[in-house]
Structure 1
Amino acid sequence: MDTIQTPSVSATTTVVRGSAPVIEQVSTKQQMKLFIDFPHDLYSNDPLYVPELFIAQRDLLTPGKHPFHEHSELQLFLALRDKKVVGRIAAINNRNHNAFNGTNDGFFGFFECIPDLTVSNALFDAAAEWLKKQGLSTIIGPVNFSTNETCGLLIEGFDSSPVVMMTYNPPYYIELIKAAEMTVNVTLIAWQVTAEAVEDKPLRMMQMLENRLAQRNIVIRKINLKKFDEEVVKIREVYNKAWDKNFGFVPMTDNEFAYLAKDLKLIMDPDLCIVAEKEGQIIGFSLCIPDLNKVLIKVRRGRLLPTGLFKILLGKSKIKGVRVIALGVLEPFRKLGVEAVFYGRVIKEGRRKGINVAEASWILEQNDLMNSAIQAVNGVPYKRYRIYEKAI
């Protein structure tokens, strides 16, 4: 079996209906390799595409490698035509999500497909059938495990590459989703803030707010990498409490959070990772990471060898873009100015380091509080994503 070479995907790509593909469940290492590598061929002529690291994707999808598999299941599918891969999808039974939310949801993720409705419909049908056999009643996606990982179908903002840990797809995927009769579940926004446009108000207010917070014994500081493991435990507790009412939220297990933290530590800039602490307990945090995609876009087919690792090591220090990946405060401490100090610290450190652009993502379209706060520093909503659903 070989992957198929496809023409450059673009806004003008025509969706067709071809012959029925063969759908195979992924069960071998060779099939797994084909599953992971298919996007590299699908986007081979797309200059905005950023390849995922092969080793990271393999571990993410392999039971025994990633802690998601300790509590939930998934099944990967390949679509083949003339023995060549033309599409892929994952059907996901996230047991922790359903237990926490009291739902009976199934998910699809890792969806990639040529512009062919026959292929996409066959993939969605295969995923839905597997989920039904698991006793689930809804298919929701694209969600790559949960909202704790990458999720959402890009619907606006096709003129730039995705930032680190954000999804990317060609415009014709919207048509493929609609043809599968899925409806919109939720819309997500990615905001862009540039160094030239950013509002100075948070900087002017920052010291005053920090002094006021100090009177409440609340201290704002950067993360302590020398006590990283201790910090991670405290931050996990905040994450699982501060985000518990968000759309699709599912608490991360100890192992899942530790796995993510270990990966983030490799690229983390401690000056841009800030916590709010009261009497030794972390009550809020802001996590901002360098946009590693600026380097990964140059790593051919996501391989670290023979040159990929050197490109990452050499390029990491030159990155001038960041992503604000999380910013949250425990409910009793909200609206005291902690969030504003976080914004001020990020702006101040970003300027000192020569950062010229930041993305704040993702934020629910109906989250007026967060969207207004970013708009107040002259942020622009430059990409939108959607998650869809359908009863099965």
Structure 2
Amino acid sequence: MQIAEARSRRDFRRFVRIPRQLYSGLPGFQPPLDLERTLLLDRRVAPFFTHGEAAFFIASDEQGRPLGRISAQFDRLTPEGRTGIGHFGCLDAVDDPAVVAGLVAAARAWHAARGRHRIEGPFTYSINEEVGVQVEGQDRGDMVLMPWHPPYLGAHVEAAGLVPVKDLLAYSVPIEQGARWRGVRFAELPAGSRITARKLRLGNLAAEAAIMTELFNASWRDNWGFIPLATAELTTLLRVIRPILRCDHAVFLEHEGRPAAFAFIMPNGYELFRGFEGRLLPFNWARLAWRILTHRFASKRVTLLGVRTDLRDTILGARLPIVAIARLIAANPQPAEIEMSWILDDNVRMRRIIEGAGGTISKRYRVYADPVTGSEGA
């Protein structure tokens, strides 16, 4: 086995294709579009590289066939106190613990050379994008911006010396259960609250992204692993998915004329390119264009929530995210299923609310890290 850093454009294109080369035919795996992965990962276009750095590593056999891949990255927006921890991501490999161990060692060495002596992940590229190794629910299929991994990968990560540090959950809410959100405690606003609701303004996505970023960061800044979401990243995402974006895909609640809370849902874009095997050429461009015009999504994902800083610890602020979700679900009756992801395994309050409204755990993702020694902090 050889592990080498991907430095050329040819190497990077090879890096992007590796998951579909390794996992094609496995139950539940849907190859993402090479173009979509390139927009997410390419240092020439990905907004992450305005505030972060990364390296890509490929494991190959003696004949040059791919065995796996990994990225090593660092986000300069990482809060003080966690800057000694390096992240890894894009971890995919054949069913061989030696391959995974070698890839993890390559990411660890890259960070150690830059003064970071613990690694944590996988994140692609940060906690605000794809997170964790999927350890349950592979047969439930694909979901936009949620990773897919074969069942063996988590065990190989642990064999490489990393330990589990956090589990993340995806909940499935059948749309027929959506009406139950109206019965959830706090789902209705108290009389006289002076809250008004509006939809997503498609004509000014940059401004909408700025509002969502501010509210999201205010809500989650004290949560485990928090790294601020950058407005440029969310703006880019909204513009990329603009052909399938509708005004009903976000609900904004305003208090006395100021943004107070929001909830955002994304159509499952993977539905548009099923059967493409990751490629748009030579004829899948036309198929994709037709599907964008005619497709009715069977699944959507509640992706982002947020509430204003000065309302966070108030009774009203506790109600606002639930109200926003309830109205969002009511405005999106088409899909057969709504996924709410991800939810921290230890976020008991949110889990109880979702389960009370008919949600069931459909997938589980796990984040790993080097063990903490006696001389280190978390």
TM-score of the aligned structures, taking structure 2 as reference length? 0.90
Match of 1:159, SS state, is helix
Which residue identity does 1:96 align to in structure 2?
Answer: L
Map 1:302-313; keep pairs closer than 5 Å: 303-313=279-289
Q: What corresponds to 1:343 in structure 2?
A: 325
Match of 1:209, SS state, is coil
CA distance in 2, matches of 1:382, 1:230: 34
Q: What corresponds to 2:17 in structure 1?
A: 37
| CA deviation profile, 1:170-209 (whole Å, cap 9, x unmatched) | 0010221111121111010100011234453516989x93
Q: What corresponds to 1:15 in structure 2?
A: none
Q: 136, 147, 152: which is aligned to 1:172?
A: 152
Contact 1:235–1:282 (CA<8 Å) still a contact in 2? no
Moved over 6 A (4+): 203-206
Change (3 A) 1:41 1:31: same
Q: What corresponds to 2:75 in structure 1?
A: 94
CA distance in 1, matches of 2:219, 2:37: 28
CA distance in 2, matches of 1:254, 1:347: 25
Map 1:95-174; keep pairs closer than 5 Å: 95-97=76-78, 99-174=79-154
How far 1:63 moved relative to its partner? 2.4
Q: What corresponds to 2:345 in structure 1?
A: 365
How far 1:100 moved relative to its partner? 4.5
Which residue identity does 2:67 align to in structure 1?
Answer: V
How far 1:78 moved relative to its partner? 0.7
Change (3 A) 1:68 1:340: closer
CA distance in 2, matches of 1:232, 1:62: 22
Contact 1:187–1:387 (CA<8 Å) still a contact in 2? yes
Q: What corresponds to 1:16 in structure 2?
A: none
Contact 1:210–1:219 (CA<8 Å) still a contact in 2? no
Q: 150, 171, 182: which is aligned to 1:202?
A: 182
How far 1:277 moved relative to its partner? 1.2
CA distance in 1, matches of 2:137, 2:266: 21
Q: Does 1:320 align with 2:298?
A: yes
Match of 1:163, SS state, is coil
Which residue identity does 2:162 align to in structure 1?
Answer: M
Match of 2:138, SS state, is coil
The alignment-based identity, stated in percent, is: 28
| CA deviation profile, 1:230-265 (whole Å, cap 9, x unmatched) | 222222211221121122111123322322232243
Which residue identity does 1:304 align to in structure 2?
Answer: L
Contact 2:32–2:277 (CA<8 Å) still a contact in 1? no
Change (3 A) 1:322 1:136: same
Unpaired stretches in structure 2, ≥5 consecutive residues:
373-378
| CA deviation profile, 1:87-129 (whole Å, cap 9, x unmatched) | 11111122221x4554311111001111112211111111111
Deviates more, 1:227-236 or 1:117-126: 227-236
Match of 2:264, SS state, is strand
CA distance in 1, matches of 2:77, 2:205: 26
How far 1:388 moved relative to its partner? 0.4
How far 1:271 moved relative to its partner? 1.1
CA distance in 1, matches of 2:203, 2:274: 31
Unpaired stretches in structure 1, ≥5 consecutive residues:
1-20
Q: What corresponds to 2:376 in structure 1?
A: none
Q: What corresponds to 1:276 in structure 2?
A: 253
Change (3 A) 1:282 1:37: same
How far 1:64 moved relative to its partner? 3.0
How far 1:53 moved relative to its partner? 2.1
RMSD, aligned α-carbons: 2.2
Match of 1:154, SS state, is strand
Contact 2:73–2:87 (CA<8 Å) still a contact in 1? yes
Equivalenced residue count is 365
Change (3 A) 1:61 1:226: closer
CA distance in 2, matches of 1:249, 1:266: 30
Contact 1:117–1:176 (CA<8 Å) still a contact in 2? yes
Q: What corresponds to 1:254 in structure 2?
A: 231
CA distance in 1, matches of 2:309, 2:39: 35
TM-score of the aligned structures, taking structure 1 as reference length? 0.87
Match of 2:370, SS state, is strand
Q: What corresponds to 1:286 in structure 2?
A: 263
